[in-house]
C-alpha cells in the first residue's frame, strides 16, 4: 500500500511483488488525500491529517478482513488509524511499515500516526537515526535503505562505455525539494558562476529558478547532459542517504555527494566513486575539481554506477529482504 506515482516507493514495491510472482493487492494512498484544496489545507494544518483519513482507513480494514492477506505492507506515513490496524492485527494479519519519512520530523510529526505506530509488528526504516525511537515504542525496527528501479534509472547515452564521446555541458544537475538548508549550497554554486540544472519545488522562495518536476526520463536526460550531479540528503528528515543516492548513480552520473556515514558505506572513500562535501565552500571546490578533470569524471561515473547496480539494491531486492526478515522472525517465534 502506497502512492501509485512513478517515483514513489509504494508503486515500486507493487512492481517488485509482480516480478516476484507474489500474490498481492494494492491500495493507492493518494485516495486519502483527495478533496477540495481548502479542506486539504485545513486538515493538514490542524493535525497533518489526510483529508479522507477515516474513510480510507476503514476501507483498508474492510478489504483486509475480506481477503485476509498474511501481511499488510504500508509505506511512509500510511493513512491508517490505530483502531483499524488493531482490528486487522486481531485477525492474524502481520502489519509491516516501510518508513520512508521521519515520523518525528517537525515537518511530518502527526499525533494520529504516532498513536498508530505501536500497532505495527515490524518497521523497516530508510534511516538509522530514528531506530532508537521506534524501539522506545516497543516496535521491532531495522534499517533498510531506499533502492532503485532498473527499468527507470539507467545510463541511456552509452556514457559508461570508454569509446563513447560524451557531449557534456559544464553544469551541475540537482533534482530535489528546495529545503531551506539546501539554499546555501545552491546559492554558493550560483555565486561561483557554475551552470545549474535545477529541478524540484520550493526553490523560487530563495530566488533560485527551477525547471519544475522531472520524471525518470528527464533525470536520465539531465544526468547525461551535465558534467556533475548532486546527491543531497534531507537533513530535516535525518537522512543518511536518499532515493537519489541510488537513482542518480544508476543513471551513470558523475556524483558530488553530501558526506554522510551511509554514503561512505555505499560509495567508499573520497574519489573512489564520488566526491564528498560538507560545506558550501567545499561543494564549490569539488564541483570545480570534477569540471576540470574528464578522466576523473569517467572514473567516478563507472565506479558509482557499479557501487549501486553491482549490489542487491533494486526494489525487488528490498521486498525480498522484507519478506525474508519477516519469515525468519516467524520461524524464531515458532521455535520459542
Sheet holding 275-277, edge to edge: 195-199, 169-175, 226-231, 255-258, 275-277
Return the C-alpha cell found at 47. Answer: 493535525
The residues pairing with 84 across neighbouring beta strands, listed in sequence order, are: none
**How much is the pLDDT for 334?**
44
> Domain 9-147+314-335 class?
alpha beta
Distance, in Å, from the CA atom of 127 to the CA atom of 238, rounded to the nearest integer, reads 7
Q: H-helix or E-strand containing 141?
A: strand 141-143
The Cα–Cα gap between 86 and 118 comes to: 10
Map grid coordinates 510472482 to a residue. 21
pLDDT of residue 104: 94
Q: What is the model's pLDDT at position 329? A: 62
The beta-carbon contacts of 105-110 under 8 Å, at least 24 apart in sequence, are 105/236, 105/237, 105/238, 106/236, 107/236, 107/237, 108/48, 108/77, 108/237, 109/48, 110/47, 110/48, 110/49, 110/77
SS3 198: strand
Position 192 scores a pLDDT of 97
β-strands 255-258, 94-99: how paired?
Answer: unpaired
The set of long-range contacts for 317-324, using a CB threshold of 8 Å and a minimum separation of 24, is 317/147, 318/13, 318/16, 318/98, 318/144, 318/147, 319/13, 319/16, 319/17, 319/20, 319/22, 320/20, 321/124, 321/144, 322/73, 322/96, 322/98, 322/124, 322/144, 323/22
**Architecture of the domain whose range is 169-309:** 3-Layer(aba) Sandwich (3.40)
Q: What was the pLDDT predicted at 335?
A: 35
How far apart are the C-alpha atoms of 199 and 218, rounded to whole Å?
10
The pLDDT value recorded for residue 50 is 86
CB 166, CB 159: distance < 8 Å: yes
pLDDT value, residue 165: 53
> pLDDT 10s per residue in the chain (336 long)?
777 778 789 999 999 999 999 999 999 988 888 877 777 677 667 777 888 999 999 999 999 999 999 999 999 999 999 999 999 999 999 999 999 999 999 888 899 999 999 999 999 999 999 999 999 999 999 999 999 999 999 998 755 655 455 678 999 999 999 999 999 999 999 999 999 999 999 999 999 999 999 999 999 999 999 999 999 999 888 999 999 999 999 999 999 999 999 999 999 999 999 999 999 999 999 999 999 999 999 999 999 999 999 999 999 999 999 999 998 765 544 433
Quick one: pLDDT at residue 102?
95
| Rounded Cα gap, residues 256 and 247, in angstroms | 14
Report the C-alpha gap between 305 and 121 in whole angstroms.
Answer: 35
Q: How far apart are CA 273 and CA 253, in angstroms?
A: 10
DSSP secondary structure letter of residue 104: T
Full DSSP string of 34-101 = -S-HHHHHHHHHTTS--TTHHHHHHHHHHHHHHH--SEEEEESS----HHHHHHHHHTTPEEEEEE-S
Contacts of 46 (CB under 8 A, 6+ apart): none
C-beta neighbour count of 219 within 10 angstroms: 23
> 260 and 233 in contact (C-beta within 8 Å)?
yes
Residue owning grid cell 515504542: 137
Q: Which residue's entry shows cell 515520523? A: 103
**Do 316 and 20 form a contact (C-beta atoms < 8 A)?**
yes
Amino acid at each position: 500500500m502506497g502512492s501509485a506515482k512513478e517515483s514513489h516507493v509504494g508503486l515500486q514495491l507493487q512492481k517488485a511483488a509482480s516480478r516476484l510472482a507474489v500474490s498481492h493487492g494494492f491500495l493507492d494512498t493518494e485516495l486519502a488525500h483527495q478533496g477540495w484544496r481548502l479542506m486539504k489545507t485545513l486538515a493538514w494544518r490542524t493535525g497533518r491529517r489526510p483529508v479522507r483519513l477515516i474513510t480510507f482507513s476503514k476501507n483498508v480494514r474492510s478489504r483486509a478482513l475480506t481477503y485476509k492477506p498474511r501481511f499488510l505492507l504500508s509505506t511512509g506515513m500510511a493513512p491508517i488509524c490505530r483502531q483499524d490496524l488493531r482490528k486487522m492485527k486481531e485477525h492474524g494479519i502481520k502489519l509491516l511499515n516501510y518508513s520512508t519519512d521521519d515520523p518525528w520530523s517537525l515537518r511530518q510529526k502527526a499525533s494520529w500516526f504516532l498513536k498508530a505506530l505501536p500497532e505495527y509488528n515490524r518497521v523497516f526504516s530508510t534511516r538509522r537515526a530514528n531506530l532508537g525511537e521506534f524501539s522506545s515504542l516497543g516496535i521491532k525496527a531495522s534499517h533498510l535503505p531506499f533502492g532503485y528501479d532498473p527499468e527507470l534509472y539507467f545510463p541511456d547515452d552509452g556514457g559508461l562505455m570508454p569509446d563513447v564521446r560524451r557531449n557534456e555541458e559544464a553544469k551541475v544537475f540537482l533534482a530535489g525539494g528546495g529545503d531551506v538548508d539546501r539554499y546555501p549550497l545552491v546559492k554558493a554554486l550560483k555565486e561561483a558562476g557554475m551552470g545549474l540544472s535545477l529541478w524540484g519545488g520550493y526553490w523560487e522562495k530563495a530566488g533560485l529558478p527551477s525547471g519544475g518536476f522531472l520524471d525518470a526520463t528527464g533525470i536520465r536526460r539531465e544526468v547525461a547532459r551535465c558534467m556533475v550531479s548532486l546527491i543531497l540528503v534531507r537533513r530535516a528528515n535525518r537522512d543518511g542517504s536518499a532515493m537519489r543516492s541510488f537513482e542518480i548513480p544508476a543513471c551513470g552520473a558523475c556524483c558530488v555527494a553530501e558526506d554522510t556515514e551511509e554514503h561512505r558505506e555505499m560509495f567508499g572513500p573520497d574519489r573512489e566513486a564520488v566526491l564528498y562535501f560538507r560545506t558550501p565552500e567545499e561543494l564549490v571546490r569539488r564541483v570545480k575539481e570534477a569540471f576540470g578533470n574528464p578522466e576523473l569524471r569517467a572514473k567516478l561515473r563507472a565506479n558509482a554506477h557499479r557501487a549501486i547496480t553491482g549490489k542487491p539494491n533494486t526494489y525487488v531486492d528490498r521486498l525480498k529482504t522484507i519478506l525474508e526478515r519477516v519469515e525468519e522472525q516467524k520461524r524464531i517465534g515458532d521455535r520459542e
